[in-house]
């Protein structure tokens, strides 16, 4: 081999080695070294809200695990949409993360014609963390609904008198309304919808017999155990661990019914896959700590989904809620 050819091949080998080294360094910067500075969790709801509580539990866990601070930033307004639009515009580096609920991600796109973010284009799903069932409650003193032996018997009463019985929701387009609209359709009944500003006033309306039933959240459990409210069924695919004797709606005679209010993490679209995986893995390790696990279980059913599984969940729910909203002709625009 002549000297010119040897110099040429040596130069190519050197360039290749430099390229590989640069690629390795880039990969380490994208995933291996993450996180190397504080992370901001953006929450679209006020401090003390269940979404905020989950965010703070996970934030403390990641801080303890990595030594990097995770700061919770409550950016409230527009049913979580202000926070979502903030994160959608953030740098895709894994240091700004949306902690959101299902309504903001899978319901709002069908309720609003104009939004400042596009879920499919603007976000990279990271992890679903907990899911919370709704509890169909009635007042046991409110006859005849209150003494119906089971959910099917209750809905048979409603079927016999279309529009005579009512249900309260936490607001127009809220998941509590969508849950009832889905159930009404599956059972072939028509109940009158009364919208309230949140689950708390809807619960009060059931207690005062202003409406016949509602889909309540787990805050109703103490009143259920005290006998002030009666739980007919839960909306999730599995029973709620706080009410193990209460059947799911699917078990009560309506197979396939499965609606839960979840809390999940999403990063801006374009965030490197190694960073998304690292963050997802860090979240998943929360269930390995008994104390952290116990705190999360107080907020809902543990449901740690990896990025691809979470993306599938979002896609399926978005289609499901779009169909319910279309059939019920619900719009907030």
Tens of pLDDT, residue by residue over 242-253, are 999 999 999 999
15: confidence class by pLDDT, cuts 50, 70, 90: very low
**pTM score, two decimals?**
0.84
Kindly give, in sequence order, each residue whose CB lies less than 8 Å from that of residue 178, ignoring residues fewer than 6 positions away: 107, 259, 321, 324, 325, 328, 330
The pLDDT tens digits of the residues spanning 195-210 come to: 999 899 999 999 999 9
**CA 241 from centre of chain:** 18
Token pair of 212 as six digits = 């016949």
pLDDT at 5: 44
Q: What is the DSSP letter of 101?
A: E
DSSP per position, 204-264: HHHHTTSSSEEEE-GGGHHHHHTTSSEEEEESSSS--TT-TTSPBTTTTT-TT---EEEEE
19: confidence class by pLDDT, cuts 50, 70, 90: very low
Cα separation, 128 vs 308, in Å, equals 10
Asked whether residue 24 carries a pLDDT value surpassing 80, the answer given is no
Cα separation, 130 vs 146, in Å, equals 31
12: confidence class by pLDDT, cuts 50, 70, 90: very low
pLDDT at 29: 43
230: confidence class by pLDDT, cuts 50, 70, 90: very high
Token pair of 294 as six digits = 């116990």
Cα separation, 289 vs 296, in Å, equals 11
267: confidence class by pLDDT, cuts 50, 70, 90: very high
332: confidence class by pLDDT, cuts 50, 70, 90: confident
With b for 16 or more beta-carbon neighbours within 10 A and e for fewer, the 173-184 pattern comes to bbbbbbbbbbbb
**CA 328 from centre of chain:** 22
Backbone φ and ψ for 32, nearest 5 degrees, come out as -60, -35
Asked whether residue 2 carries a pLDDT value surpassing 80, the answer given is no
Average pLDDT, the chain: 90
Q: What is the CB neighbour count within 10 angstroms for residue 273?
A: 11
Q: What is the DSSP letter of 235?
A: S
pLDDT at 28: 41
* Rounded (5°) CA angle 214-218-220: 60
Sheet holding 96-101, edge to edge: 70-74, 39-43, 96-101, 260-268, 123-133, 301-305
Taking the CA atoms of the chain, what radius of gyration do you get in angstroms?
Answer: 24
Q: What is the DSSP letter of 306?
A: -
Helix (H) or strand (E) segment spanning residue 218: none
Give me the mean pLDDT over the 109-130 stretch: 94
Q: What count of Cα atoms within 13 Å lies in the side-chain half-sphere of residue 183? A: 34
Cα separation, 58 vs 286, in Å, equals 7
pLDDT at 268: 98
Residue length of the chain: 333
Percent of the chain with pLDDT over 90: 81
pLDDT at 48: 87
77: confidence class by pLDDT, cuts 50, 70, 90: confident
Asked whether residue 36 carries a pLDDT value surpassing 50, the answer given is yes
Sign of CA dihedral 259, 261, 265, 270: positive
pLDDT at 298: 87
Give me the mean pLDDT over the 133-139 stretch: 96
Q: Give helix 50-66 / helix 273-284 axis angle, nearest 10°.
A: 100
pLDDT at 17: 41
Give me the mean pLDDT over the 60-89 stretch: 95
* Contact present, 220 and 204 (Cβ < 8 Å): no
Q: What count of Cα atoms within 13 Å lies in the side-chain half-sphere of residue 18? A: 6
pLDDT at 32: 55
- For residues 23 and 276, the model is more confident at 276
Cα separation, 137 vs 216, in Å, equals 7
Backbone φ and ψ for 147, nearest 5 degrees, come out as -105, 5
């Amino acid at each position: 081999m002549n000297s010119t050819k040897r110099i040429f091949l040596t130069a190519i080998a050197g360039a290749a080695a430099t390229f590989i080294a640069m690629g390795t360094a880039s990969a380490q910067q994208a995933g291996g070294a993450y996180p190397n500075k504080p992370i901001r969790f953006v929450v679209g709801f006020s401090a003390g809200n269940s979404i905020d509580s989950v965010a703070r539990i996970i934030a403390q866990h990641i801080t303890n695990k990595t030594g990097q601070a995770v700061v919770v930033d409550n950016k409230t307004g527009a049913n979580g949409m202000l926070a979502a639009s903030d994160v959608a515009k953030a740098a895709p580096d894994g240091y700004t993360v949306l902690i959101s609920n299902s309504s903001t991600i899978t319901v709002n796109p069908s309720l609003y014609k104009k939004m400042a973010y596009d879920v499919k284009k603007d976000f990279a799903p990271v992890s679903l963390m907990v899911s919370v069932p709704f509890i169909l409650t009635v007042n046991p003193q409110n006859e005849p609904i209150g003494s119906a032996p089971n959910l099917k018997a209750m809905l048979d009463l409603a079927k016999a008198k279309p529009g005579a019985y009512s249900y309260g929701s936490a607001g127009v387009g809220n998941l509590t309304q969508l849950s009832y609209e889905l159930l009404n359709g599956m059972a072939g009944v028509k109940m009158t919808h009364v919208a309230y500003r949140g689950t708390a006033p809807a619960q009060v309306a059931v207690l005062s017999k202003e409406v016949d039933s509602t889909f309540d959240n787990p805050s109703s459990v103490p009143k259920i155990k005290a006998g002030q409210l009666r739980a007919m069924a839960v909306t999730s695919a599995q029973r709620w661990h706080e009410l193990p004797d209460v059947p799911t709606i699917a078990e009560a005679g309506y197979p396939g019914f499965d609606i839960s209010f979840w809390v999940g993490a999403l990063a801006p679209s374009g965030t490197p896959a190694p960073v998304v995986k690292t963050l997802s893995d860090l979240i998943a390790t929360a269930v390995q700590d008994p104390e952290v696990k116990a705190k999360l279980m107080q907020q809902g059913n543990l449901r740690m989904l990896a990025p691809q599984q979470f993306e599938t969940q979002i896609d399926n729910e978005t289609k499901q809620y779009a169909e319910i909203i279309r059939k019920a002709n619900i719009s907030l625009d």
